Amino acid sequence: MDDYNPTWQKIQTRIDTAMAEHPLDTAVPPVVFPGKPADIAYDVELYAQMEKAAQTIPAFDRELLLSHTGWSQIPLLGTVLQKMQRGLHNIALFYTNRALQHQQTVNWQLWQALGRVTAVTQQQQRTIETLQAQLAIMNQPERE
pLDDT of residue 30: 44
Read off the pTM.
0.51
Q: Tens digit of pLDDT for each residue in 50-92?
A: 878 777 776 665 666 666 667 667 777 778 877 888 888 888 8
pLDDT recorded at residue 89: 82
The pLDDT, as a whole number, for residue 27 is 43
Q: What DSSP string describes 53-80? A: HHHH-------------GGGGSHHHHHH
List CB contacts of 76: < 8 A, sequence separation 6 or more: none
In this structure, how many other beta carbons lie within 10 angstroms of the beta carbon of residue 87?
10
Contacts of 8 (CB under 8 A, 6+ apart): 1, 2
Mean predicted lDDT score pLDDT of the chain: 76
* Selection from 64, 116, 112 nearest residue 90 by Cα: 64
- Neighbouring CB atoms inside 10 A of 96's CB total 14
- Phi, psi values for residue 45, rounded to 5°: -65, -40
- In sequence order, the 6+-apart residues with CB closer than 8 A to the CB of 101 are 60, 61
CB atoms within 10 A of CB 99: 11
* Residues of the chain above pLDDT 70, percent: 72
Give pLDDT < 50 ranges for the chain: 1, 24-31
For residue 61, CA distances in Å to 54, 64, 65, 66, 96 come to 18, 10, 12, 16, 9
